[in-house]
Amino acid sequence: MSRNPIASFANDSDEVVRFDDVSMRYGRGPDVLRDLSFSLAPGTFHFLTGPSGAGKSSLLKLIYLAAQPSKGLIHLFGHDVAHARPQARPELRRRIGVVFQDLLLLDHMSAFDNAALPLRISGAKPTEYRADVAELLNWVGLGGHMHAMPPTLAGGEKQRLAIARAVVNRPQVLLADEPTSNVDHEMALRIYRLFVELNRLGTTILIATHDQDLVARSGRPSMHLEGGRIKLRPPQGPALS
Amino acid sequence: MSEMFDPARWRPAPFLPAQETRDGALVFVVAVLCFLACVTALGVIAADRAASGWTRQLSAEATVIVRPRPGETPDSAAAKAAEALAGVNGVTEARALEPQKAYDLVRPWLGDVADVEDLPVPRLVAVSLDARAPATAHALETALKAQGLDAIVDDHSLWLKDVRRSAGVARGMGTVVFLLIAGAAAAVIAFATRAGLAAQRDVVEVLHLTGAEDSFIARLFQLRFARVAAVAGLIGAGGAILSGAILRLLGGSQGLTPALPIAWADLVAVLPCPLLAAAVAAIAARLTAGALIREMQ
C-alpha cells in the first residue's frame, strides 16, 4: 500500500498520527472521507481547512477515537487503533487533548474543576495538580474566574477554558475544532498565540478552522479537505510574530 | 467578583451532577418495593414460626380411641389402655380423659340431647410423647394389642403432613414474591440508570473523550444508584419495622392472628434490606451502564 507523498509530514519512525487509505462514512451514507493517507510528526503545527461538510470534524473524531473508519488503518503513537485492546483506548485518548467545536464544558463544575478533569480521570491526587491547574488558568487569563461556572463565562472565556482542559494533561497531540469560531478577531489571535506557545513546548497541533485569514497569516502548513480527499498546502507567508 | 479562589482549599466536584429531580420519585418507588419485600419476609417468618409451633405441638401428642369389648366398661377399658401406654418407651404421660370430654366432642354432631351419656361413646386417652424420642404409632398399637384392647391410635400424622405442606407453600410463595420484588427493583433501577445516562450523555461523552475508562464511568452510576437504593431500602425497612412493631404491640406475641405470630426478634430480619437494595441496584446499574456505554461508542 502506498501513501500519498504530498500529505506525508513525518518520518515513519516518529509519527504520532498516521492514516493509511482511511475512508469513513456515517451509516449507509456516502464516504465523508475517502482513502486518506497522511501522517503527523511530533511537534508539528498544521491547520485543517475545507468547506463546511468537507469532513474536518469527522477526521478529528477519527484521531480522538470518537469514530471508527469504514476502511483503512489508523496508527496513533505507533499503535494500530483497530487492533488495540479496548483497555488501551482510554490510555491513547489521554495522550490527545481536544478542544471540541461545541466546547463540551461541564456546567455543574466550576472552571477549576473543568480544567482539572483530565488529571482527575487519570488518577492524579488533588495535591499533585492543584497548583498546576491554577497556574494554567492564570496563563489562559482565567485566574479571576476559577470558581465561575461555565454558563456564567463569556464566549472567549469558555474557549480558553476548553483549551486549558485540553492541555492540562500535557498531551502529545492537541486537536482543536473551530476554536476561534465564536470569538472576535483579537480573541482569535490570542487563542492562536496560545497554540503556538504550546507547540513550542513540543505539542503536535492540528486545528480545524474556516478562518482562512488566520491560516494565511500564521505561516503554517495546512491540510485542505475537499470532496473527501486531502491536499497539503504549504505555508502562505511568513509566520505571525 | 466575590471571594478569592484558593486552590489549596479546593475540593473536587462530583463527576455527575449532585441531585436529579427524578431521584425523589425513584427513592419513593424503590422504598415501596423494599417495604413490600420486608413485609413479605416478616410474613414468611411469622408463618414459619406458626407452622413450627403447630408441628411441635402435634408431634408431642397422640390420641387413642378405646372401644370397650363385651363385658368391659368404657372407663375400665380406658384406664387399662392408659396404664399400658404409660409403660411404652417415648411416652411421658398417658391419661384417660373424663367421659365428659368424649361427650363434649360428639355433642356438636348429635345436638343437645339429654341422654347422650347412654350412648356407647368410646373413651379417649391423651398420650404425651417424649419430644426428643417420641414413641411411634406402631409401638403404641403393639402395647395396646398386647393387652387385648380394641383401640385406634391417632398420632396426628395426617395433620402434621398438612401443616408442613402449608408451611412449605407459604415459604415458597414468600420466596417467589420476594424474588419478584427484588427483580422489579432491579428493573426500576435499570430504567433509572438508562434515563440517568441519557440525561447525562454530555457528561459521559466528555468523561469518555478525556480518557475515562468504561468501568470508571459505569462505577459513577453504580455508586449513585446504590446510594439511592440504600436510602430507599432504609425507608422501606423502617416502614416495615414500624408496621411489625405496631402489630406486635396491638396483638401481643400472636400479632393480629395466631397464624402470623410476630416476635420482636423478627424485626431484625429486615435490617439487611438497605444493603440488599444497594447491592441489587449496584449490579443493575453497573450492567446497564456498561452496556449503554459500549453502545455509545
For residue B41, pLDDT beyond 60:
yes
Of A100, A116, A121, the CB nearest to B207: A121
Nearest to B206 among A104, A130, A169 (CB): A104
Give the tens place of pLDDT for each residue, A159-215: 999 999 999 988 999 999 998 877 778 878 888 888 998 899 899 999 999 888 888
Q: From residue B217, how far is each of A67, A86, A207, B197, B220 by CA, in Å?
A: 19, 15, 29, 10, 5
Q: What is the mean pLDDT of residues A48-66?
A: 93
Locus of grid cell 461523552? B205
Predicted TM-score (pTM) of the model is 0.71
Sign of the Cα pseudo-torsion (B201, B207, B212, B215, in order): negative
The predicted pLDDT at position A53 comes to 86
Q: Which of A108, A112, A121 sits opposite B211 (nearest CB)?
A: A121
pLDDT in tens, B204-230: 889 989 999 999 999 998 998 899 889
H or E stretch including B93? Answer: strand B91-96
pLDDT tier, B253 (very low <50, low <70, confident <90, very high otherwise): low
**How many Å lie between the alpha carbon of B10 and the closest alpha carbon of chain A?**
8
What's the confidence (pLDDT) of residue B231? 93
Contacts of A241 (CB under 8 A, 6+ apart): none
Closest in B13, B213, B214 to A110, CB measured: B13
| Residue B222 distance to chain A (closest CA, Å) | 17
What is the interface size between A and B, counted as CB pairs within 8 Å? Answer: 68
Tell me whether residues A93 and B210 touch, CB distance under 8 A.
Answer: yes
- Which stretches of chain A sit within 8 Å of chain B by CB? 64, 66, 86-87, 90-91, 93-94, 98, 100, 104, 106, 108-110, 112-113, 116-118, 120-122, 126, 130-131, 133-134, 144, 146-147, 165, 169
pLDDT for residue A34: 93
